[in-house]
Amino acid sequence: MSIQTELQETIDSLVRRGRGILAADESTPTITKRFQAVGIECTEASRRSYRELLLSTTGIGEFISGVILYEETLGQSASNGLRLAEIAQRQGIVPGIKVDKGTIDLANAPGDKITQGLDGLGERLKGYKEQGARFAKWREVYPITPANPTLLGITANAEVLARYAAICQSYGIVPIVEPEVLIDGDHTIERCEEVTEAAQNEVFAALKRHRVQLEAMLLKPSMVVAGKGHPPKASPDEVAKRTLRVLRRTVPAAVPSINFLSGGQTPEEATANLNAINTAHVNVPWLLSFSYARALQEPPMAIWKGKPENVAAAQEAFLHRARLNAAAQRGAYTPAMEKGSGAG
């Protein structure tokens, strides 16, 4: 099979109406914090059990087309002996892999960050592909302060994202490009819109320089929201208007799907905002979907608490949250569904 055919088959499997992507790629320090918040001891066994809980949820493939895994998870087997990636595949869910190595301070740009992991990426991709991964994800972050992001921060992060994406495609791996504008801070929604537009413009200029095939990649952007320290929160309609305006100005029509990150929003906020985006748009060229972590996982994790007797209830909560976001992706979500009414 040619690389081009591989890429297209993966895109066709991921970009599906009424489905989105589960981000289950939390690093060990990140998932440790989330486990501790709900009283779960973080061990290799507990991380495996939790991710097995998610991937083995009956019917989840009806709403989830892909899952981003952490390197540890890609190599793990479930309690029944099947590899976790294979459990996902049996649900009709495409396994993917987080390939970046986290952020460090960007030299000569105080307050900005840059993501590590390009060295040896090609060899790692070969190994991940042998384990079943068909797409990858790389995250760059953009803090907002009165001085950040700097022009250097915006251009350097875009260059890294483009280099990563080009390497992925050369190995037949679909890249998810994630320029995350952070919600931390007290900035206005207008400032977030300004930064998001500048960051995404530079990302697509860099992707063009590196000859990345836009038809064989996915964009995972932030929604345009105010900083969490700047109340009150904008309405879903306001978020949708500003987010769509930025997308129209920055994202070429060749990109098949835009899968938003939740970026610190509550599960309910992330679903309501996605629904507003899908009801407000008129004739956009992209599928507008989700690639959520906490906004899908927060309810099931809080119910599970690391106890086997809570698995069924946690899976029910996870399936419900996935169903609501799938409805929002079709513009068919209503707040009444939060309590189960009309969620089917």
Regarding beta strands 103-105 and 113-115, do their DSSP bridges make them parallel or antiparallel, or are they unpaired? antiparallel
**Is 66 a member of any domain?**
yes
Which is nearest to 333 in space by CA: 262, 260, 266, 273? 273
Average pLDDT estimate for 173-199: 98
**Is 256 a member of any domain?**
yes
Instruction: Report pLDDT digits (tens) over 269-293.
Output: 999 999 999 999 778 999 999 999 9
CA 60 to chain centre: 17
Q: What pLDDT was estimated at residue 340?
A: 62
**Is 284 a member of any domain?**
yes
**Placement of tokens 């679903």 in the chain:** 271
Whether 296 and 302 have beta carbons less than 8 Å apart is answered as: no
- Kind and range of the H or E run holding 103: strand 103-105
Instruction: Tell me what the pLDDT averaged over the chain comes to.
Output: 96
> Residue 50 maps to which CATH number?
3.20.20.70
Cite the active site residues. 178, 220
Q: What pLDDT was estimated at residue 341?
A: 39
**Is 344 a member of any domain?**
no
Q: pLDDT category, 1, cuts 50, 70, 90?
A: confident
**Is 62 a member of any domain?**
yes
Which is nearest to 121 in space by CA: 70, 173, 69? 173
Q: For the chain, where are the alpha helices, taking DSSP H only?
A: 3-14, 28-37, 44-55, 71-74, 84-90, 121-130, 151-170, 189-209, 236-250, 267-280, 294-304, 311-329
| Number of domains into which the chain is organized | 1
- For the cut 80, the answer to whether the pLDDT of residue 342 exceeds it is no
Domain that holds residue 248: 3-339
Q: Is the C-alpha dihedral spanning 37, 38, 42, 48 positive or negative?
A: negative
Which is nearest to 129 in space by CA: 174, 90, 91? 174
Instruction: Report pLDDT digits (tens) over 55-75.
Output: 999 999 999 999 999 999 999
**Is 193 a member of any domain?**
yes
Give Cα separations from 166 to 12, 159, 262 (angstroms): 19, 11, 26
